[in-house]
Structures are given as structure tokens and as C-alpha cells.
Chain A
């Protein structure tokens, strides 16, 4: 039972480099989310996708783009990484919506931008 799978788990970038965090879920969930977790800040929503084909901004979308490739996959792209984007990134999914169902989280991706 894979659940929500994120890759890579660790990444070190230099300022200005780009990268994509991949997320896939095998639970046939409709909604998917990207959060970042920073010390003392809790979890903050970057982008979400309520259903296949739709994406919306969350609380902290600047510097990121997302793609809901299909129902299973939701990727997060950093076009020009900045040190402020050093964080742990979590992908999550829910069967229907965040309010009506629990979120299932991936193991997280630790990103360091030098």
C-alpha cells in the first residue's frame, strides 16, 4: 500500500536552479495538495487541486507552479530556487475534499537552497 509517494526525499539546489517535486497517489483521490513546513510556522498551503484539471493558489504560492498531470499525479515546480524556499515539502491527497475527509500525507521532501 504505497499511499502518497513523493520524490525526491532530499535535494540540495543552488540559488537560481529549477527543480520539480513529484507526487503520486494510488488511492483514486480527487483532491491533492502541496504544503511546506518551516520551523515555528506549521504547515502552509502552497497550491491545491480540487479535482483533475483544476489548480488553485493557497497561502504561499509565490515562486511555485504546479501541474495536475492526471488524477494520480500532482507536481510542484520551483522555476528559480531561492534560499527562502528551503523547507520540507509535503504532498497530500483526500478522497473528496479537505473538509469532508482526512488528508493522507507523503513522507515529505527536504529541500535546501544554497
Chain B
């Protein structure tokens, strides 16, 4: 069975601090995909990144970076120099298989509050 664990439930930081959101996953598949989604206070979920199981290269997009380590089954998300607009709930997700019938399993989410 697929499982995504986001052990941190709430994180509060002061603006300009760096913050890392942890994600640990479980799967028996050799091919799978990992995702991060952001849910700002407005409520709509926004896609941030997708990473397949064969690509362990870290990715950086502006202030956002992702560290994928298969050895520890982790896909962590770091926000550098956080801003108030980063305040949101962040979800990590795992696809159960590839193909037309694939679907995502989400973690419980991490609520990030960035204080001015």
C-alpha cells in the first residue's frame, strides 16, 4: 500500500528564514512519481513539482528547492528566505502506479505560517 508521511503538522517561521518541509513515502513500486502541492488561504490547490523515481537530481526553482533521496524514501522541500506569501498548507503526494488508472495518495499536509 502507498503511504505518505508528513510528520510536521505546523511550522511557524519569521520572514527571511529558511524552512524545510519533510516528506517520507512508502511504496513497493519501482516506478513512481512524487509531487508537492501548495494550498494557500484562498483554498485552491496549486501544483509545485513532479519528480519520477529514476531522477534523483535535486531541483531548484527560485527560492524553492527539492531534495529527493531514494535511500531514505524522502522528498523534502526547502523554501529559502521565506516570505509571508509562502504561508499555506503544503501537501506531498505519491502516485500509486503509472498508466491511465494511476492516482495520487496525499500526505496530511504541513501548515506553514510565515510571520513578518
Contact = CB atoms under 8 A, between A and B. Distances in A.
Given A42-B109, A58-B103, A99 B45 contact: no
Interface string A80-100: 000000001010100011111
Contact of B91 (A43, A48, A56, A58): A43
A99 B91 contact: no
B98 A43 contact: no
Interface in A40-86: 40-45, 48, 50-51, 56, 58-59
Q: Tell me the interface secondary structure of chain B in the complex.
A: loop
Contact of B99 (A58, A97, A107): A97
A51 B108 contact: no
A26 interface: no
B107 to A, nearest CB: 6
B43 A107 contact: yes
B104 interface: yes
Contacts of A30: 100
A99 B108 contact: no
A31 interface: yes
Contacts of A103: 37, 45, 47, 104
B53 to A, nearest CB: 10
Interface in B23-52: 32-33, 35, 37, 42-47, 50
Contact of B45 (A44, A48, A59, A105): A105
B102 A97 contact: yes
Interface in B63-105: 91, 93, 95-105
Interface residues of B, number: 30
Nearest to B92: A42
Interface residues of A, number: 32
B33 A99 contact: yes
B45 A98 contact: no
B47 A40 contact: no
B104 A90 contact: no
Given A42-B106, A43-B106, A102 B35 contact: yes
11 contacts: A35-B106, A40-B108, A41-B108, A42-B6, A44-B106, A48-B103, A58-B103, A98-B102, A99-B98, A103-B45, A106-B44
